[in-house]
Amino acid sequence: MRRVVLAVPDEFAPFRQAARGLLAEAVPPHAIAWSEGEPDLFAGASAAPTSGGVGDRVGPAPDGPCAPPVAVPARFLPLAEEVIRHRAPERFALLYEALWRITQGERALLQVASDPLVHRLERMRRAVSHDAHRMTAFLRFREAGPNRFVAWYEPAHRVLRQVAPFFTGRFAAMHWAILTPDASLAWDGSAACFGPGVSRDAAPCEDALETWWQDYYRATFNPARANETALRRHIPRRFWRNLPEAETVPELLSQAGRRTAAMTSEKLRPVIKN
Amino acid sequence: MSKAPSLREKLSILADAAKYDASCASSGGTRRDSRDGKGIGSSTGNGICHSYTPDGRCVSLLKILLTNFCVYDCAYCINRKSSNVRRARFTEQEVVDLTLAFYRRNYIEGLFLSSGIIQSADYTMERLVRVARLLREGHQFRGYIHLKTIPEASPALIEEAGRLADRLSINLELPTEDGLRRFAPEKDGATIESAMGRMSGAITAAAAEPRGPRFAPAGQSTQVIVGADGSDDATILGRSAGLYGTHRLKRVYYSAFSPIPESSQALPSRAPPLAREHRLYQADWLMRYYGFGSGEILAGAADGMLDLAIDPKLAWALRHRERFPVDVNHAEREMLLRIPGLGVRSVDRLIAARRHRSLRLADLARLAGSERRLRPFVVTADHRPTALLDRADLRSIVAPPRQLALFA
Ligand code: SF4
């Protein structure tokens, strides 16, 4: 059994390096035990964010940089880069199995979406991509000073690097930090700096504008359409505690019936005849 | 007279007044960001819903009216002249400040600004355009802007609106001329159509000239109220098909007529089921992405209404059993798209996969998420439905029993 420890659990480059070596030696998937090592991810790390995360900073790999490159179909790379950010420990083994089958003659494997392995990888990729999208949607900045903003967010997967370009592109002229339990990202208007995870109390606990946002949220809701099931489908429970507007939901839902009844019974109106 | 509302009260009043507009999309803008450090904002081309209201509707844009004063008297509208609702008016600068403050905290993708008509169409349109100009030119705002267009406003103003905004819209509200005459007597169907036509021309021309001045790159949309007048679903879908065809609209929104406070005597006092709105959206989707003609969706249906209990694609399949079962290993894409339970994405992945494998039922389950519904309609390498299509109770076998719970 070969043991492979990946110190950087959410980047593709170290995995790729390890996989190249193993493929060069023709080590079959069942003979490898993959695991995550101590994350010394942020030792002096400061890099411009790339959506790919395939920087030069590469963790230790079992076989040095001399392992020959392996030709894989173009679509493997974007798939693997996202799957790597999934928290499931089996992600390395699944990706290696796909590589193994591709190099053993199944060149078109990734086009067969109905294959159980491809299906599983695709589902993991989608979970990561959905999680990243939700982070761009549900993250809320709080003002921490003039033109300074801080956000606390708890992503389901390790998607901070994936969403970094979104935030640096959108809020380039602001100074801000995004704090999560496993990593953080600070932007000073020109450079992005990744750092270690922090705890929740490192973030500001309020912003005066949140009550205005709650007012808006209340006003834009039509009580005649109340539908709690649909709301919960779109915003699962775990997001609620970090969304300022969520506080108003119980009150809005409990009053919806009464408000609708008041609108429809103000006066008895005849139904129009055509 | 109550005293003038504070800014915070105005936010509540003018968001409340705008909430009957279903559109909140922020998709389709040109890709841009503010990496040059000059302004603020970006658009990825795909919309983002930053929140959802307790009815499950997307909150993407700050959706407000500049003012809910209005000189018109449209029966279905809470802001009509004869309504007793509390009135307010933002200054243009107030809208700009609110938009930026919300945007910086990542609450919104941008602004959707509409207004009641004050003084004149041009006067009102000028105010809307000024807000967009302040945002775009004064603050280099690169987020999304959707402006409501007033059909009677002068072409020069609409042109400037198109240059500044990502999307423009004129709401049709009533699907027929007759409905419009009865409920919005001051509005004129022909004026609306010609304004849509001009915008459509400008959008197409600008899209063909990528280096020229931009004009509403995310296109135009409209909204139709469902259940206020007596139009059936066939009429509404026919109207939509016409709008997609003639004016190349990006979206038609359907908004189930909602009882409003202070509502007009002329309107029904009860809302139509929200399920109807949902089925119209599904049917609309079939026209835009599944190759269904508007007449086809309801062909053979008794009363011109979509079935509320099952989705329109399944309803169509049940009425056209002679077209099934479909052999998923050989059928054309067009026919694959007609199989109930198989979406566009699944169909495309199925077509790629079958080049390399002969597909079995289990493969289909992985491609479509489930095969229970598909089973009676497909032939796979290991499955051929046995006379299932002839059963009278097929509907109860394939229709998900809990589907309506969403609208309870
Ligand atoms: S023009 Fe009609 S729909 Fe528009 S705000 Fe005035 S009354 Fe309402």
pLDDT at A63 over 60: no
pLDDT at A42 over 50: no
Residue spans of beta strands (DSSP E) within B9-71: 51-52, 58-59, 61-65
Asked if residues B77 and B64 have their Cβ atoms less than 8 Å apart, the reply is no
User: Does the beta carbon of B147 sit less than 6 angstroms from any atom of ligand 1?
Assistant: no
Q: Is B351 on the interface with A (CB under 8 A)?
A: no
Q: Strands across the sheet with A175-179, in order? A: A142-145, A148-152, A175-179, A183-187, A192-196
Do A263 and B260 lie within an 8 Å CB cutoff? yes
Predicted confidence (pLDDT) per residue in A139-186, tens digit: 999 999 999 999 999 999 999 999 999 999 999 999 999 999 999 999
Please report the DSSP string for B230-245 in residue order.
---HHHHHHHHHHHHH
Give the C-alpha distances (Å, rounded to integers) separating B256 from A189, B57, B230: 46, 13, 13
Q: How many CB atoms lie within 10 A of CB B266?
A: 13
Q: What angle do CA A97, A98, A104 make, to 5 degrees?
A: 85
Mean pLDDT (whole number) for A250-260: 87
Predicted confidence (pLDDT) per residue in B22-69, tens digit: 888 888 878 899 999 889 999 988 899 999 999 888 999 999 999 999
Q: For strand A32-36 and strand A142-145, is the pairing parallel, antiparallel, or unpaired? A: unpaired
The whole-angstrom separation of Cα B176 and Cα B170 is: 15
Contacts of A218 in chain B (CB under 8 A): 12
Minimum-distance CB partner of B19 among A140, A166, A219 = A219
Model pLDDT, residue A14: 92
Please name the amino acid found at residue A180: T
Whether a cis peptide bond, with omega within 30° of 0, leads into B325 is: yes
Give the C-alpha distances (Å, rounded to integers) separating B316 from A73, B299, B326, B350, B394: 40, 8, 15, 22, 13
Q: Which residue of A has its CA nearest to B106?
A: A140
Query: Where does residue B137 rank: exposed (0-12), middle (13-18), buried (19+ CB within 10 A)?
Result: exposed
Closest CA to B377 of B316, B294, B296, B290: B316
Do B38 and A269 lie within an 8 Å CB cutoff? no
The Å distance, Cα B187 to ligand 1 centre, comes to 9
The Å distance, Cα B14 to ligand 1 centre, comes to 13
Model pLDDT, residue B406: 41
User: Does the beta carbon of B150 sit less than 6 angstroms from any atom of ligand 1?
Assistant: no
The Å distance, Cα B73 to ligand 1 centre, comes to 7
Q: Which residue of B has its CA nearest to A247?
A: B54
pLDDT at A267 over 60: no
Unique residue bearing structure tokens 């649909």: A230
ipTM of the complex: 0.91
Q: For strand B110-114 and strand B144-148, is the pairing parallel, antiparallel, or unpaired? A: parallel
Model pLDDT, residue B108: 98
Domains (range + CATH), chain B = 7-222 (3.20.20), 312-398 (no CATH)
Q: What angle do CA B275, B276, B280 make, to 5 degrees?
A: 115
Model pLDDT, residue B393: 72
Query: Looking at ligand 1, which atom is closest to the CA of residue B173?
Result: 3
**Splitting chain B (408 residues) into consecutive groups of 10 residues, what average pLDDT does each group show?**
87 95 84 91 92 92 97 90 94 98 98 96 97 97 96 94 96 88 88 92 91 91 89 93 92 86 69 86 95 90 88 93 94 96 95 96 92 90 79 71 44
> What are phi and psi for residue B89, nearest 5 degrees?
-145, 130
Q: Which residue of A has its CA nearest to B364?
A: A114
Model pLDDT, residue B10: 98
Model pLDDT, residue B389: 65
Asked if residues B67 and B89 have their Cβ atoms less than 8 Å apart, the reply is yes
Contacts of residue B254, Cβ cutoff 8 Å, sequence gap at least 6: B22, B223, B224, B226, B236, B277, B280, B281, B284
Model pLDDT, residue B352: 96
Q: Atom 5, ligand 1: which residue's CA is nearest?
A: B116
Unique residue bearing structure tokens 């290993």: B329
Best residue of A133, A170, A232 to probe chain B, by most B CBs closer than 10 Å:
A170
Say what the pTM is. 0.90
Give the C-alpha distances (Å, rounded to integers) separating A91 from B165, B292, B367, B382: 44, 41, 21, 31
Model pLDDT, residue B387: 66
Give the SS3 label for residue B26.
Answer: coil
Q: Which helix (H) or strand (E) holds A3?
A: strand A2-6
Q: For strand A183-187 and strand A175-179, is the pairing parallel, antiparallel, or unpaired? A: antiparallel
User: Does the beta carbon of B74 sit less than 6 angstroms from any atom of ligand 1?
Assistant: yes
